[in-house]
Structure 1
Amino acid sequence: MQWKKVIIEDRFLSILAFLGVLLVIASFYFNSWLIFGAGLLIILITAANSYYLNHIGEGLVFENKRERNRFFIGDNGEWSLHFANHGLPIMKARLTVYFDSAVIPVSGEFHIHQSKVDVGMPVSMSRKEQIVIKIPFKADRRGMSKIRRLELHIPHFFGFGDTILEFKDVINREALVFPRPISVRNIDKHKSFRPGTSTSLFSVFEDNMGPVGTRDYLPTDSFNRINWKASARRMTLQTKEFERITEAGAVLFVNVVDGFSVTVMLEFLMSSITEMAYFFHKANIPFSLCMNIRSAGATPFTYIPLGSGKDHLQKLLDILAIADHHSPTIPYDKMLFFYKRHFPVAPTMIHTGIRTEGADIYFKDFGRDGIQLLELQRHVAVEEEAFLGPLQLMMKEVAMK
């Protein structure tokens, strides 16, 4: 059975049933068919009331299919709830839906308590009827909204009690609201000093596997780079041009901890990382995410390996939407230690959040390997803006350790 049932009977119903029995007994004493009929009618009403309260909802089915929808802040969506009734008719009931306040209903009667929303609506269903209840909403803030509970209050026809049905299973309806990106200056300043496979206009390395064109010969060009066929056609020396390549990739290290709790800058961090992820996606630069929110599995923290493409971006945005102030965390330096031991490094590493002294030990080691180290900082003058700058290590503390 999908539903947990709570039956609330009016005390007057028991008194009424007792009165009906007394009238039936009295009818034999007074030899009155009228009193007998009144008593029998009262008994039938109380019996029908009890039967209805005890059996209502036994044929009610909720289609609990898995559904996850994604929204940007300001987008409109809706919860679609499918019900089928194979039992007694349900009349003048009231359905209450409880969900997280990342999305807010745009119509109807609803209440917001802390981070939860409850919205109620009337429901009536005849036998063998199927209905779809739609609750339109608007994405209000970053986060994940799940339908946490369904309650159906069914009154009796005569008002002698109520039946409350509460859905027992986990409801598989989720709405993810992605963070709103904010401006991040100097995001295009990351660079690499090592060869790779990604194209770059400013790299000193070239892909010698095949030329992409020719240009006029210069005295400083090497003699073996002359394209003799092109030179013969143009009757002037032509030099082969190769595509410039470099090693590309960035790892985003995110420290969401401040002391013993999640930082109050969580929204700022999620919005900044969203902007950087969009930039890397458009520039086709592989990126990775390491966030010290605890995760089940072999990797004890939230980790996305280096990758690119639309699916990779969506996976990162999903994680940024789910992160909240109640997420379990691990120490930042332990995350860096695990990363250094188990994962390949990228040419650029970007630190976001509060930087601890223990973390500087690992960043110093990364710097020795020629990795570019950057740090996300909040703009002092403009609240909704951030910028990337060189990561300045606390050399004295690091040396002492």
Structure 2
Amino acid sequence: MLNELWLLVSVVILFIGLVASQGLLLVLGALSLIVSLVAKFWDRVAFQKVTHFRTLSHARAFVGDTVEYVITLSNEKAIPLIWVDIQDAFPEGLELPGGSVRGSGVEVIRQHCITTSLLPYQKVTWKYKIECTARGYHRIGPVRLRSGDIFGFSSAEIYYPKVEHLLVYPKIVDLGELIFPEQHPLGESKSWKPVVQDTTRFLRQRDYSPVDPMKHIDWKATARKQRLQTKVFEPVVSLNVLIALNAATSEYAWQGSNRRFFERAVTAAASVASDADRHGYTYGLISNAVASYSGKWLSVPMGASSSQLSMILESLAMAGPYVVTPLTEVLKGERASLPSGTTVVLVTSILTRAMATEINLIKDSGYQVRVLYTGDQAPSVEMPGVPIVRLGRILETQVDYEPAMA
């Protein structure tokens, strides 16, 4: 607008100089017109052939990791940029040592600000190390570039909508035997259809059948009874773990959400998944927590593939403390389809009577249940026969309570 006004004033001065035959006005008007045209031309071509790139050394990281972050700005034309102001949206939960990051809080978007200049055909690169301080699905960008002409009459800006994503996994804590005791960690359940025979658990003897393995023949019993006898072992099913994460931190929705308790629960769930993967178990995840940007609750089917842990950690990284339904309803939907021999590991910061009832129903159906309690106070509901491990104090000093969903 200022440039158009100055152009109009220049034309008026030049016209008056011509009419009045005033050389000074003619020179002043001509110079003003030239400056206005140059500024207008610069305004149009300022960001032509100007490119802005960001690169991250990794797209995924854990809390506490550092990621290399490179910004490149290049000017591939003969016209310089006297000054360039770069304003790049930068999320909470990531720190940028050495960078100028302005703005904080929920209502203020943080901006990574850089001011520089570009000569013709010049490329400028900035290198940083991002510190991942909180789990989350972080988005860097979009970016806005601003610049002005040498006379200060006009300014131009351009908006690049491209964003970079950095997924930060929750912290994994070594809880040792608090999660799974060494002996029979998941309480292997008996099954009418043996999937695996545990040869360390001798049950009885019976007459040999042609389908029985020769290595299971009991030769001493055969000599006593004068006919072939085979050993029968206690049948067990393969070990399965279902991690059930309760996103609710209070009994009623109107009581709000306790971010500290929720982050403890996420860390505990990630630690269980890591331990199950290390032991070679088949495991999965269900939760009533909502995943960021999807609006759906978390669910990772049972599996034992090499990518199972990554899928669960990705889900937990994007988990928000927003409850769409009580966890009891989620458990009801899963109960009928649980494989034999499954142990349900409930991770929660509260225990309600409705939850205790559902846990007892699961236990009465022949499944093992283990509760990892992440609240501060002792659970208000008792559940005889169900192990409850209190992790609140253990996790208190090891969990960051400021996750970022941006």
User: CA–CA distance in 1 between the matches of 2:335 and 2:64?
Assistant: 40
* Equivalences for residues 129-278 of structure 1 within 5 A: 132-167=125-160, 169=161, 171-181=163-173, 183=175, 185-189=177-181, 190-194=186-190, 223=221, 246-257=237-248, 258=250, 259-260=252-253, 261-264=256-259, 265-278=261-274
User: CA–CA distance in 1 between the matches of 2:339 and 2:272?
Assistant: 21
Please tell me whether residue 351 in structure 1 is matched to residue 349 in structure 2: no
Number of matched pairs = 353
Q: Is residue 250–residue 350 contact of structure 1 (8 Å, CA) maintained in 2? A: yes
**Cα deviation digits, residues 7-59 of structure 1 (max 9, x gap):** xx5x4x45543442233123224434443232111012112212322443244
User: CA–CA distance in 2 between the matches of 1:20 and 1:266?
Assistant: 65
How far has the Cα of 1:348 moved from its partner?
0.7
**Cα deviation digits, residues 154-179 of structure 1 (max 9, x gap):** 12221123223222x45243242432
How far has the Cα of 1:117 moved from its partner?
3.5
From 79, 82, 107, the equivalent of 2:69 is 79
RMSD: 4.0
Q: TM-score normalized by structure 1?
A: 0.73
Q: Which amino acid aligns with 1:73?
A: V
Q: Mean Cα displacement is larger for which, 311-320 or 139-148?
A: 139-148
From 302, 309, 322, the equivalent of 1:306 is 302
Counterpart of 1:398 in structure 2 is none
User: CA–CA distance in 2 between the matches of 1:269 and 1:200?
Assistant: 34
User: CA–CA distance in 2 between the matches of 1:99 and 1:203?
Assistant: 58
Identity %: 14
Q: Is residue 295–residue 302 contact of structure 1 (8 Å, CA) maintained in 2? A: yes
Runs of 5+ consecutive residues of structure 2 not aligned to the other structure? 205-211, 225-229, 378-384, 389-406
Q: Is residue 247–residue 323 contact of structure 2 (8 Å, CA) maintained in 1? A: no
Question: Alpha carbons of 1:344 and 1:107: their partners in 2 closer, same or farther (altered >3 Å)?
Answer: same
Runs of 5+ consecutive residues of structure 1 not aligned to the other structure? 1-8, 227-238, 382-388, 393-401
Counterpart of 1:397 in structure 2 is none
How far has the Cα of 1:281 moved from its partner?
1.4
User: CA–CA distance in 2 between the matches of 1:69 and 1:57?
Assistant: 29
Question: Alpha carbons of 1:222 and 1:278: their partners in 2 closer, same or farther (altered >3 Å)?
Answer: farther
User: CA–CA distance in 2 between the matches of 1:243 and 1:128?
Assistant: 77
Q: Is residue 67–residue 174 contact of structure 1 (8 Å, CA) maintained in 2? A: no
Q: Which amino acid aligns with 2:36?
A: T
**Cα deviation digits, residues 321-373 of structure 1 (max 9, x gap):** 11133x46322122112212455465211111123333334322221222111
* Equivalences for residues 327-342 of structure 1 within 5 A: 327=322, 329-342=324-337
From 319, 322, 325, the equivalent of 1:323 is 319
Q: Secondary structure at the match of 2:270?
A: helix
How far has the Cα of 1:252 moved from its partner?
0.9
Q: Is residue 184–residue 272 contact of structure 1 (8 Å, CA) maintained in 2? A: no
Q: Which amino acid aligns with 2:347?
A: T
Please tell me whether residue 280 in structure 1 is matched to residue 270 in structure 2: no
Q: Secondary structure at the match of 1:247?
A: coil
Q: Secondary structure at the match of 1:42?
A: helix
From 12, 32, 37, the equivalent of 1:22 is 12
Question: Alpha carbons of 1:107 and 1:375: their partners in 2 closer, same or farther (altered >3 Å)?
Answer: same
User: CA–CA distance in 1 between the matches of 2:234 and 2:336?
Assistant: 34
Q: Is residue 98–residue 118 contact of structure 1 (8 Å, CA) maintained in 2? A: yes
Q: Secondary structure at the match of 2:47?
A: coil
User: CA–CA distance in 1 between the matches of 2:223 and 2:235?
Assistant: 15
Q: Is residue 198–residue 248 contact of structure 1 (8 Å, CA) maintained in 2? A: no
By percentage of residues, which structure has more strand?
Answer: 1
Question: Alpha carbons of 1:80 and 1:66: their partners in 2 closer, same or farther (altered >3 Å)?
Answer: closer
From 81, 90, 112, the equivalent of 1:119 is 112
